[in-house]
Copies of this chain bind each other. A is one copy, B any other.
Amino acid sequence: MRVLYHLPLSPYARKVRLVLAEKRLPFELRLEKAWERRPEYLELNPAGTVPTMVEDNGLVIPDSCVICEYLDEAYPDSSLMGRTLAERIEVRRLTAWFDGKFAQEVTNNLYGEKYLRRLTRRGNPDPSSIRTGFTALRYHLDYIAWLAENRKWLAGASLSLADFAAAAHLSTLDFLGEVDWTISPQAKEWYARIKSRPSFRGVLADRVPGTTPPDHYADLDF
């Protein structure tokens, strides 16, 4: 069976889980406490990050972006990367936006500072990072709302990797109770739509020791 080394709340691992589920590719999850830098894991992925995927045939694929590009090339049915060159540019641009800019401005501040820092015993969160994270989250929810108002899905007419990248980050923050959905009804409507897909069930069933998600986390009519 295909194996995905992950952390339950890693948005990058969640993105890959969503894509695998959407493509109906079975996989087994293995918890990898990346910060422990386990030598056997570093051999699979010298960067030491999660996720890393290992295919049945032994092919090792590290890095969520590399995995998603690979999955669309190896299993092109129900492609999530767009069809035309212009569509593919927009899917990749927005995926890079969420995994780059959103991650740096929001996820790293609210998941990284507030949650990961505690988990890895690196001291108390920096209050200014948390303020920066919440301010940036409002601005990003507005951008998602603008995209969702003007398009069926974030990158255009079709569901794509861009939706899963965005939803993965937001689902992690939502698990931690950090998202005030009243800020943007349009962003909430888009998130409710993607959250209702069968591919989302695994992510909504996640539970981690010491943190209880808010009641609305797994509620499809939140």
Contact = CB atoms under 8 A, between A and B. Distances in A.
Contact of A85 (B63, B74, B96): B74
A35 B71 CA distance: 36
A92 B45 CA distance: 13
B47 A69 contact: no
Contact of A93 (B66, B93, B100, B143): B66
A63 to B, nearest CB: 5
B47 A65 contact: no
Given A47-B97, A97-B47, A101-B47, A92 B74 contact: no
Contact of A66 (B47, B70, B89): B89
Q: Is the interface of A mostly helix, strand, loop or mixed?
A: helix
Interface string A81-110: 000011011001100110011000000000
Contacts of A101: 47
A73 B97 contact: no
A100 B66 contact: no
A11 interface: no
Contacts of A85: 59, 70, 73-74
A46 B143 CA distance: 10
B59 A96 contact: no
Contacts of A88: 69-70, 73
17 contacts: A46-B143, A47-B97, A47-B101, A59-B89, A61-B89, A62-B93, A63-B100, A65-B92, A65-B96, A66-B92, A66-B93, A66-B96, A69-B88, A69-B92, A70-B88, A70-B92, A74-B85
